[in-house]
Amino acid sequence: MNDPGGTRHHGQGSIAHPVQALIQDIHARAARLNEGAVANYIPELAKADPRDFGIAIAFSDGHVYETGDSRKPFTIQSVSKPLVYALALKDRGRDHVLKRIGVEPSGDAFNSISFDERHNRPFNPMMNQGAIVAASLVRGDGIEERFARVRALFEAFAGGPLGFDEAVYRSEDETGHRNRAIAYLELNAGMIEEPVLEHLDLYFRQCSILVTARDIAVMAATLANYGVNPVTQQRVIPVSIARDVLSVMATCGMYDYAGNWQFDVGIPAKSGVGGGILATLPNEVGIGVYSPPLDALGNSVRGIKVCTELSRNLKLHLLDRNVSGRTVFRRIYRSSEVRSKRVRGPEETKILEANGQRIAVYELQGDLAFANSEQITRVALQDADTTDQFILDARRVLSADPAAHGLLTRLLQIMQARRKNVIVSVTRPSPALDDLVEVLSGAGALVEDFDTALENAEDRLIAALTPGTRDAALDLSDVEVLGRLSAGDLDRLRSHLEPTRYRAGDLILREGAPADRLMFLTRGRVDVVVALADSKARYRVATIEAGNMFGELALLEGGKRTADVVAATDVECLVLTHEALDILSEQSPELASHLVFAVARSLAERLRRATREIAALAR
Amino acid sequence: MNDPGGTRHHGQGSIAHPVQALIQDIHARAARLNEGAVANYIPELAKADPRDFGIAIAFSDGHVYETGDSRKPFTIQSVSKPLVYALALKDRGRDHVLKRIGVEPSGDAFNSISFDERHNRPFNPMMNQGAIVAASLVRGDGIEERFARVRALFEAFAGGPLGFDEAVYRSEDETGHRNRAIAYLELNAGMIEEPVLEHLDLYFRQCSILVTARDIAVMAATLANYGVNPVTQQRVIPVSIARDVLSVMATCGMYDYAGNWQFDVGIPAKSGVGGGILATLPNEVGIGVYSPPLDALGNSVRGIKVCTELSRNLKLHLLDRNVSGRTVFRRIYRSSEVRSKRVRGPEETKILEANGQRIAVYELQGDLAFANSEQITRVALQDADTTDQFILDARRVLSADPAAHGLLTRLLQIMQARRKNVIVSVTRPSPALDDLVEVLSGAGALVEDFDTALENAEDRLIAALTPGTRDAALDLSDVEVLGRLSAGDLDRLRSHLEPTRYRAGDLILREGAPADRLMFLTRGRVDVVVALADSKARYRVATIEAGNMFGELALLEGGKRTADVVAATDVECLVLTHEALDILSEQSPELASHLVFAVARSLAERLRRATREIAALAR
C-alpha cells in the first residue's frame, strides 16, 4: 500500500520535464531488479514491502523531482550516521572528534568488529563502531534533550517535521545486542565514556527517525549546498563541517566497496538497512532513493542501481569534468528590448515593438552539465506560455557534456510538440562544442550566427502576425522620418529628390567618400558594412529596410563616410544631395527646418531605443 | 649544486605576483623541515642532495609559477604509475585492465606484498604489484618500442623532452629483487603473462625517466585539464581515462593514508621515492614538488607539507566549495567605450574620449576561488602599464573564498605600491560577500555602487589631467550643441532665451508635465531621475553637467516628460520655451533651422556613442 502522495509525477502538461522523464525511466528499469532481501535482523524491518520504490532528486535552488513511492516513510537507519557525525563536530569541534573517531576506511566488511588499534579509536564514523562514539559526543542534558537536538538537526536538514517509528525503536533496543557489545568494548578500551546505555539509546532512536526519499534528497542537497538547506534557505551546519562529512562519505560511506564506488559512481553516499540511500554531489544535486531489498553488503539493490545509472547518464561523478557553472544565464532579454541589426520599415517596427516579448533570448555561458542544463530547461518551460521563439545564445558556452546534450535534446522535443521555435546560435564553434552542434542540428534546432538567429526569429514573428507579402515600392510619405510632414511639404520635397535604382550587390555609399547625400529608401534592403580592424573580413553593422533613411549621420556632421552601404536586394531610393538641400533651404527655409526637425525627431527616437538597449545589455 | 634555471622567480617588477609570493613563502617555511631521509634502497638514489627543494604550480591556461630547484632533474619513480596506468587503459581498454588490476585501496602498508585474492589481481595500480601488471599491458614490439611509447607519453604529459638516468636504471635493475619476486608471484598466479623480465625491464626504465618539479606540475595540470596539456594544447589521453586515473589517485594514491589524505588535503596525488610528488586538482591546478627526504611511508616530507599548506591556504580540496568558474570575466571594457551616467561638459568629454582607455572595468561573475582569482590578478598586472584605474565590478560575484581574498588583498597592495587606483563595486552585498567587502575595505579599495565607482574614476582621471578647478558659469557659446553657430546666430538666439537659476534640490522638470521647453545648462549639474516601476524608489538615469542641453528629446517628439530633472547643485540655465521657438522660427527661419540642425547633430553624435556602447556591452 503506497501513500498516494508518493506517486505524484511533476509533469509539464502532457510531456514530462526532461529530468522527470529521466528519473521515471530509471525507476522503470530499476524496478525490474528483483534481487536482494529485506533486512530481517530487526523483526520490525522485515515487515517492509519489497515493492516500495521511490526516487527524488533535489537541486541547489530547492527544486525537487520525484517519482514512485518518494513520499513513503521508512526508518533512516545508517543514513543517520553522517548527520550525527556533523552534530558531533558541531558540538565538540574537529580536533576533539578526530581524536576519538578516525577517517580511514577500515578495509573490513560492514559487519566486522574491528578498531584502529594504533590510535585506539574506531576507523571511521560511517560504521557502527564510530557512529556509536559520534552519538556519545552529542551534547545535552539527558536522553530527551539530546534526542530532541538530534531530531531537530535532522528536521533542519530535511526542511520539515519528521516522524518516529516507536515499533522499530523498541525492536532495535530489544535486539541490539551486537551494538551493546561494541559499546562495551569501546568503554573497556576508553574510547567512550559513560553513560553507555544512554548513548546506545540515543543511537537506537536516531536510527528510528522516519524519512522519505524526498526528505533524504533534500538532506543530501543540504550537504551538496555546503550546509544551507536549499528549500528553507536555512544554514544547518557550517561549510567546514559539510566538507568534512562529504570527505568521510566519499572514502568510507560504502564500506569495503569505497574504491570501486568512487571509481564507478563517484558520488559520496551513505546507505541504511531501512532501504534508503543518500547520495550527494557537491554543488550539484542531492539524491534520495528508497527500496528495501538489500544486497550482501547491506545496500539497497535498486538504490545502488539508481545511483549508478544517474552517475553514468548524467555524468554525476565527483571526478567527471562536470563543473556546472552556477551562472549559466549570462543575461536574459526579449526582442522588445534588443533587436537584430535589421532596421525595419515602420509597419514591422510597430509589430516588433508590440510583440517583441514573444521572442526570448537566453545568453548562456560556461560549461553546461546536468544541474545547470536542468535550470535552462526549467526556465524555458516556465517561459513557454508567453513565448513563441527561444534563442539560446551559446556563443560563450565552453563545453557541454552528454547530460547537457540529453536535457537539451529533450527540451527541443517538448518545444517542437508545443510548436515553439528554438534556435541555437554557436558562432565559431570550438571542437569542444562539435557534439553539441551535432545534437542540436539533429534535433532540428537551427544553429546560426546570433544576429541571423535573432533576425530570423523577428521575421517569423512578423510573418505569423501579418499574413501576405508586401514588396510594392513605398511612397515618400511611407518613410518613417517624414510621416509628420504635410502633403504640401512632401510634394515640395519630392521635387528636390532624385529617384535612383541599384541592383543587388551595388555599392551605394563608400567608406571614406565625402558625406554629400541623404537617402530615403523606398524599396528593398541595404547592408551597412565595415572592414574589421585586424583583418580583411567585412562585418555587417546593420541592414536597413524600405521606409528608413540612411546616410544622415555623416551628412549632419559633415566629413567622410565611416562605412560602406551595399544594396542587399534590388533597391529604389530617393536621394537628397547636399546641393539640393542648400537650394531647398534657400527656397523654402520652413520646409528645410521641418525636414531637419523630422530628422532630429527620428534620431531622438533611435537614441531612446538605444538607451533601452543599453539598459538591457548592461544587465 | 642547483641548476641556475631552478631559481627563476617570476616576479612583477619589484613586488612579486601574489601566487609567486605565496609559493615562495611556503617554500621558505617548508625548507625548515629537516625530518626524513633520502631513499637508500637503491644506492644511486642515496646520492641525492637532501637540500634540493623545488615547487611548481601549473594552471589550466598553461601558466606556471615555480620557485627553488624547480628545474632540477630527478628520477620519476612511482610518480610514473598513474601515467603508465593511463597508457594501459589506452592500449587495452577499460574492461580488460579492470579485470587485471583492481581500484580498491589495499588498507595495507606500502611495502606489503598482498593481492586481492577474491579477484586474483593486485588491489590497485598505485602500488608496485599493480604497476608491474600495468607495465605488462603496454603494447609494442619488444622492449625498445614499448619503452619509446612510455617515454613519448610522459613527454606529451610534460610538454617537452625528458632525460633518462642510466645509473639509476642499472641500480634499479641490479637491486630490484623484491619487484622480481612480485612479478613471479603474479606470473605464478596467472595475473600477468610472459615475458616477465621484459615487463620488469620496462618498469625499471619507466621509473628512471628524469623529470623536474616543473615537468610534474605540467603533467598534473594535464590530468587536471582532463587530458589536454595546457602548455602545448595537445590532447594526451581521452577525458574518460583522465577521470579513471584521477579516481584511482584519489582513493589509492597515498597508500594506507588515503582517508586522512582525502580528509585533510583532498588533492588526488602520487609520490615517488625520488622525492617527487604530483598532485592534481581537477579543473584547477597541477602541482609538482621535489624534495628527496622521505617519511616512514615513503613520501617526501616537504612535499606533503607543501600540498597540505596549499590545500589549506588556497582551499584546494576536492570537496571544498571551490568551484572556480572558468568564466570569471563576464566582460572587460574601457571607459572610452562605456561611460558613467554623468553627461559631462565638452572639455571633460574630450578628455575622457582621449584617455578613457586608462580606466579598465572588469565585470566579474560567479564564485571566486584560487584559480580564477589568479587569473584576475594576472590580467590586472598585465594591464597595469597602460591603466591607472581599475574597477572590479563584483555585482555578479556569488561568493569568494579565503584564497580569493588572499590574492585580491595582495593585488591591492601591489597596485597601491604602483600608485594605481582600484575600486570594487559590490551593490546589494549578500552575506556570502561580507568577508570580501571587509577584506577590500580594509585593504583600502573603495567599495562603491558601480556607477559611482565609474564616475569617481572619471573624476580622478580628469583631475589628474587638468589641474585647477573651474566653476565659472559658461557662456552660451560653450554649450557643446551650439559650438558651430556663428556669433551673430548666438546673439540672436540669446535674445529668445530666458536665464533661470535653481537651488540645489529644486525640481526643474517634472515627469508627466508637458514638454514645452529646452534648457541649455551653463552652470552646475542636474540629475535625471525616474521612479522604479515596482517601488517608490527613485533611480538616477543620468547626471548632466554645464555645457549640455536637456529636455530636447521630449520637445522634439512632443508629449510629456518621461523623467524628473532635479538640480544636483546650484544651477544656471538658459531656457528656450516652445513659444520662443515658434517666434524665433517666424522671425529668423534660418537661425531656427541652424538650431535644429545643431540639435540633430548633437543627437547624431550621442547616437554614435550609444552604438559604440552597445557594441561594448554586447560583448
In chain A the first and final C-alpha atoms are separated, in Å, by 52
**pLDDT at res. B11:** 39
Q: Do B102 and A259 touch (CB under 8 A)?
A: yes
CA dist., res. B480 & res. B486, Å (int) = 13
Instruction: Name the β-bridge partners of A358.
Output: none
Residue B576, φ and ψ in degrees, nearest 5: -110, 110
CA dist., res. A387 & res. A509, Å (int) = 39
CB nearest B585 (choices: A323, A593, A601): A593
Q: Catalytic: B90?
A: no
CA dist., res. B409 & res. B598, Å (int) = 50
**pLDDT at res. A168:** 94
Q: Do A252 and B259 touch (CB under 8 A)?
A: yes
Per-residue pLDDT at A108 exceeds 90: no
Per-residue pLDDT at B52 exceeds 60: yes
Please enumerate in sequence order all residues whose Cβ is within 8 A of that of B32, keeping only pairs 6 or more positions apart, or say none: none
Task: Give the number of beta-carbon pairs within 8 Å between A and B.
Answer: 187
Residue type, A320: D
Residue A567, φ and ψ in degrees, nearest 5: -70, 120
CB nearest A585 (choices: B103, B250, B593): B593
Percent with pLDDT over 70 in chain B: 92
Q: Catalytic: A81?
A: yes
Chain B interface disruption, residue of A223, A226, A321, A338, most B CBs within 10 A: A321
Percent with pLDDT over 90 in chain A: 45
In angstroms, the separation between the Cα of residue A553 and the nearest Cα of chain B is 6
Distances (CA, A) of B61 to B224, B326, B540: 11, 11, 41
Per-residue pLDDT at B474 exceeds 70: yes
C-alpha cell at A285: 544535486
- Eight-state DSSP code of residue B474: P
CA dist., res. B243 & res. A323, Å (int) = 13
C-alpha cell at A451: 544576429
- Eight-state DSSP code of residue A116: B
CA dist., res. B127 & res. B138, Å (int) = 17
CA dist., res. B408 & res. B377, Å (int) = 7
**pLDDT at res. A533:** 61
Is A263 an interface residue toward B (CB < 8 Å)?
yes
A428 confidence band (pLDDT: 50, 70, 90): low
CATH of B4-314, one of 3.40.710.10, 3.40.50.300, 3.40.1080.10, 3.40.50.720: 3.40.710.10
Q: Which of B464, B450, B448, B429 is nearest to B361 (CA)?
A: B450
**pLDDT at res. B14:** 46
CA dist., res. B221 & res. A414, Å (int) = 40
Q: Say which residue, A369 or A109, is predicted with more confidence.
A: A369
For B385-398, write each residue's pLDDT tens digit.
Answer: 899 999 999 888 88
For A556-595, write each residue's pLDDT tens digit.
Answer: 767 788 788 999 999 999 999 888 888 888 888 778 878 8
**pLDDT at res. B177:** 92
Dihedral, B316, B302, B227, B284 alpha carbons, nearest 10: 20
Average predicted confidence (pLDDT) for chain A: 87
Per-residue pLDDT at B264 exceeds 70: yes
Angle between helices B346-355 and B450-465 (to 10 degrees): 100
3-state secondary structure A523-549: ECEEEEEEECCCCCCEEEEEEEECCCE
Per-residue pLDDT at A73 exceeds 70: yes
**pLDDT at res. A400:** 87
For B547-598, write each residue's pLDDT tens digit.
Answer: 888 888 766 767 788 788 999 999 999 999 888 888 988 888 778 878 888 8
Average confidence (pLDDT) over A66-92 = 97
**pLDDT at res. A187:** 96
Q: Catalytic: B290?
A: no
Per-residue pLDDT at A470 exceeds 80: no
CB A69 within 8 A of CB A200: no
β-pairing, B359-368 vs B329-334, is antiparallel
Distances (CA, A) of B142 to A108, B44, B138, B148, B162: 41, 27, 11, 10, 21
Instruction: Name the β-bridge partners of B333.
Output: B361
**pLDDT at res. B126:** 93
CB A479 within 8 A of CB A520: yes
Per-residue pLDDT at B3 exceeds 60: no
Q: Say which residue, B159 or B340, is predicted with more confidence.
A: B159
Q: Say which residue, A593 or B507, is predicted with more confidence.
A: B507
Q: Do A596 and B601 touch (CB under 8 A)?
A: no
CA dist., res. A261 & res. A251, Å (int) = 9
Per-residue pLDDT at B5 exceeds 50: no
**pLDDT at res. B289:** 98
Is B240 an interface residue toward A (CB < 8 Å)?
no
Per-residue pLDDT at A510 exceeds 70: yes
**pLDDT at res. B428:** 58
Q: Do A553 and B604 touch (CB under 8 A)?
A: yes
Poorest-confidence range of B79-83, B311-315, B532-536?
A: B532-536
Torsion sign, CA atoms B79, B83, B88, B93: positive
**pLDDT at res. B376:** 92
Residue type, A601: R
DSSP per residue over A64-84, as a string? EEEEESTT--EE-GGGHHHHH
DSSP per residue over A219-277, as a string? HHHHHHTTTB-TTT--B-S-HHHHHHHHHHHHHHTTGGGHHHHHHHT---EEE-TTSEE
Chain B interface disruption, residue of A284, A319, A341, most B CBs within 10 A: A319
Supply the ipTM of this predicted assembly. Answer: 0.79
Is A579 an interface residue toward B (CB < 8 Å)?
no
Average confidence (pLDDT) over B421-444 = 79
**pLDDT at res. A539:** 75
Q: According to the per-residue pLDDT averaged within each range, which of A138-152, A295-309, B118-132 is highest?
A: A138-152
From A226, A255, A290, A362, the catalytic residue: A255
For B283-303, write each residue's pLDDT tens digit.
Answer: 889 999 999 999 988 889 999
CA closest to A253 among chain B residues: B259
The CATH superfamily of B476-617 is Jelly Rolls (2.60.120.10)
C-alpha cell at A322: 562536470
Show the CA angle centred on residue A48, arms to residues A45 and A52, nearest 5°: 140
Percent with pLDDT over 70 in chain A: 92
Average confidence (pLDDT) over A453-462 = 90
Q: Say which residue, B135 or A282, is predicted with more confidence.
A: B135
Residue B177 half-sphere exposure, CB side, CA atoms within 13 Å?
2
A107 confidence band (pLDDT: 50, 70, 90): low
Q: Say which residue, A545 or A79, is predicted with more confidence.
A: A79
Strand order in the sheet with B359-368: B329-334, B359-368, B389-400, B421-425, B446-447
Average confidence (pLDDT) over A121-131 = 93
For B177-194, write each residue's pLDDT tens digit.
Answer: 999 999 999 999 999 999
Q: Return the CATH number of the domain spanning residue range A329-465.
A: 3.30.750.24
CB nearest A124 (choices: B248, B259, B607): B259
Average confidence (pLDDT) over B106-125 = 82
Query: Which of A 590-619 lie inside 8 A of B, CB atoms?
Result: 590, 592-593, 596-597, 599-601, 603-608, 610-611, 613-614, 617-618
CB B235 within 8 A of CB B156: no
B472 confidence band (pLDDT: 50, 70, 90): confident
For B147-179, write each residue's pLDDT tens digit.
Answer: 999 999 999 999 999 999 999 999 989 989 999
Is A106 an interface residue toward B (CB < 8 Å)?
yes
Angle between helices B402-417 and B301-314 (to 10 degrees): 80
Average confidence (pLDDT) over A171-199 = 94
Average confidence (pLDDT) over A83-95 = 97
Average predicted confidence (pLDDT) for chain B: 87
Per-residue pLDDT at A7 exceeds 60: no
> By three-state DSSP, how is residue A36 classified?
coil
Average confidence (pLDDT) over A378-390 = 91
CA dist., res. B323 & res. B403, Å (int) = 12
Per-residue pLDDT at A111 exceeds 90: no
CB B324 within 8 A of CB B369: yes
B6 confidence band (pLDDT: 50, 70, 90): very low
Q: Say which residue, A533 or A498, is predicted with more confidence.
A: A498
For A32-50, write each residue's pLDDT tens digit.
Answer: 998 888 988 788 888 899 9
**pLDDT at res. A154:** 98
**pLDDT at res. A29:** 95
Is A321 an interface residue toward B (CB < 8 Å)?
yes
List of chain A residues whose C-beta atoms are within 8 Å of the C-beta of residue B124: 259
Element (H, E) at B356: none
List alpha helices for B256-400, DSSP H.
258-264, 301-314, 346-355, 370-383
In angstroms, the separation between the Cα of residue A602 and the nearest Cα of chain B is 9
Residues in chain A: 619
Torsion sign, CA atoms A573, A577, A580, A585: positive
Q: Do B326 and A327 touch (CB under 8 A)?
A: no
Q: Say which residue, B554 or B44, is predicted with more confidence.
A: B44
The ranges assigned to domains in chain B are: 4-314, 329-465, 476-617
Q: Which of B297, B244, B195 is nearest to B83 (CA)?
A: B244
List alpha helices for A239-369, DSSP H.
239-252, 258-264, 301-314, 346-355
Distances (CA, A) of B329 to B76, B283, B339, B379: 38, 17, 19, 10
Residue A287 half-sphere exposure, CB side, CA atoms within 13 Å?
29
CA closest to B312 among chain A residues: A240
Q: Catalytic: A203?
A: yes
For A264-298, write each residue's pLDDT tens digit.
Answer: 899 999 999 999 999 999 988 999 999 999 998 88
Q: Catalytic: A78?
A: yes
In angstroms, the separation between the Cα of residue A269 and the nearest Cα of chain B is 13
